[in-house]
Amino acid sequence: MGKRVALTGNEAIALGMRQINPDVVAAYPITPQTDIVQYFASFVSDGQVKTELVTVESEHSAMSATIGAAAAGARAMTATSSQGLALMWEVVYIAASFRLPIVMPVVNRALSGPINIHCDHSDSMGARDSGWIQLYSENAQEAYDNLLQAVKIAEDKRVMLPVMVCQDGFITSHGMENLEILQDEEVRTFIGEYTPDYSLLDTKRPVMYGPLDLQNYYFEHKKQQAEAMKDALPVILEVAEEYRKLSGREYQLFEAYRMDDAEYAVVIMGSAAGTTRVVVDELRAAGEKVGLLKLRVFRPFPYKALQQVLGKVKAVAVMDRADSFSGFGGPLFSEIRAGLYDLETRPRISGYIYGLGGRDLGIDEIKRVFAETKMIARGGDAADLVTHLGVRE
């Protein structure tokens, strides 16, 4: 039976980690993630977990230690933000290529420079092609629920890939909310015991990690990673259904809000979905056929499922909290456009970059996005294919 509590997003993640009770956690502090491991360290100190907490000298070392622990057969976790994720860059790719089921909470924060400690998605979006599954959370409840599901997804033998569980820095990570948590035993029954197929410590079945892999086999190993990422889609849905039966909370690859008869819609990820949902309700009350698609799973990218929902509308505005600096909008925008390309009849798609460095996204700005998308849906032309929303000109 669930218990109602008031927690910040970081506290919710730390509590979930306590319930998971991983074998090893290696971490280095960075704002706004620091609270997660700080809270978790108190659980270690108080003897509430059996976890070996490894404090290291950098985020690169944190991921390296986590990789070593996971390769030895441990259930291993770490957490980071922003420059910390960037400093892990080399070994983030290694974790995925070794097919290690590491779970890493990422508290989204802008990448430098200039130095900024507030939210955007440039850190995790920068790692979008590293081979990690990426789950995005709107609030503390979703961060907690995504964390628990991430363990089962990562460790599924059809997948065996690491998972990032993302939440918005300060907005979610430090904002206190009411949420419902599971009992410790429910969590441990849900995730089960981790039994690795291979371990560096198994002398009877020796394995090699990190060998030289040249033309003869490298390509095949990359193809295996690609197939595992595709195989993760049905696993994510299976785990979500099992979690629904346990918690009563339903998760899919995305939330399609008031999309059944929508003529135009917004696609967004993270905490800003809550504000957008309010605008959708307000516009619906005024007779407008609008909808919202909140993407939860960005990697693997669920383009076929998105086609079924977004293919029915006339126009779509895709809102990115990161810029790819490609001259062609943000990463979510370009992937949505590519994913809908094969539709015989497809919506017109415009892009908006918003909220960089923690800039607030207001209701009036979201209304502007819907108004411009409505105009496009009715045959008008956007002034710009991609708009930087809320910038002082």
pLDDT, tens digit (0-9, with 9 covering 90-100), for 317-345: 999 999 999 999 999 999 999 999 999 99
pLDDT, tens digit (0-9, with 9 covering 90-100), for 297-320: 999 999 999 999 999 999 999 999
Same domain, yes or no: 137 and 285: no
- CA dist 347 and 340 (Å) reads 8
260-291 burial, b at 16+ Cβ within 10 Å, e below that, comes to eebbbbbbbbbbbbebbbebbeebeeeebbbb
Question: Residue 209 — pLDDT band, cuts 50, 70, 90?
Answer: confident
Q: Give the pLDDT score at 215.
A: 96
Residue 129 lies in a domain: yes
Same domain, yes or no: 83 and 172: yes
Same domain, yes or no: 58 and 125: yes
User: Considering the chain, what percentage of its residues have pLDDT values greater than 90?
Assistant: 97
Same domain, yes or no: 148 and 263: no
Cα–Cα distances in angstroms (integers) from residue 62 to residues 88, 95, 250, 303, 306, in the given order: 8, 12, 33, 33, 36
- Residue 280's identity, in one-letter code, is V
- Residue 390's identity, in one-letter code, is G
User: Is the pTM above the cut of 0.95?
Assistant: yes
Q: What residues pair up with 349 in beta bridges, in sequence order?
A: 316
Residue 207 lies in a domain: no
pLDDT above 90 for 393: no
- CA dist 151 and 7 (Å) reads 21
- Residue 78's identity, in one-letter code, is T
| Helices and strands, counts by H and E, the chain | 13, 15
Same domain, yes or no: 17 and 138: yes
- Which segments of the chain are extended strands (E)? 3-8, 24-27, 52-55, 76-77, 103-108, 133-136, 163-168, 176-181, 254-257, 264-268, 290-295, 297-299, 315-320, 348-353, 386-388
Same domain, yes or no: 227 and 292: no
Encoded tokens for 13: 């993640």
pLDDT above 70 for 36: yes
Question: Residue 1 — pLDDT band, cuts 50, 70, 90?
Answer: low
Residue 204 lies in a domain: no
Same domain, yes or no: 367 and 232: no
Residue 34 lies in a domain: yes
- CA dist 210 and 354 (Å) reads 40
Transcribe 136-196 into DSSP letters.
E-SSHHHHHHHHHHHHHHHH-TTT---EEEEEETTTTTSSEEEEEE--HHHHHHHH-----
Report the number of distinct structural domains present in the chain: 2
CB-based contact 108:166 (threshold 8 Å)? yes
Residue 80 lies in a domain: yes
CATH of the domain at 290: 3.40.50.920
Same domain, yes or no: 229 and 327: no
CB-based contact 233:253 (threshold 8 Å)? yes
Count of CA atoms in the C-beta half-sphere (13 A) of 138: 16
pLDDT, tens digit (0-9, with 9 covering 90-100), for 40-90: 999 999 999 999 999 999 999 999 999 999 999 999 999 999 999 999 999
CB-based contact 188:21 (threshold 8 Å)? yes
Q: Whose structure tokens read 């919710």? A: 12
pLDDT above 80 for 141: yes
Residue 282 lies in a domain: yes
Residues 6+ apart with CB under 8 A from 124: 85, 106, 108, 134, 164, 166
CATH of the domain at 83: 3.40.50.970
Residue 53 lies in a domain: yes
Residue 160 lies in a domain: yes
Mean pLDDT over each residue of the chain, to the nearest integer: 97
Same domain, yes or no: 236 and 268: no
pLDDT above 90 for 14: yes
- Residue 281's identity, in one-letter code, is D
Question: Residue 210 — pLDDT band, cuts 50, 70, 90?
Answer: confident
Question: What is the residue range of 51's domain?
Answer: 3-192+214-247
Same domain, yes or no: 264 and 233: no
Q: What residues pair up with 26 in beta bridges, in sequence order?
A: 54
Same domain, yes or no: 179 and 323: no
Same domain, yes or no: 7 and 54: yes
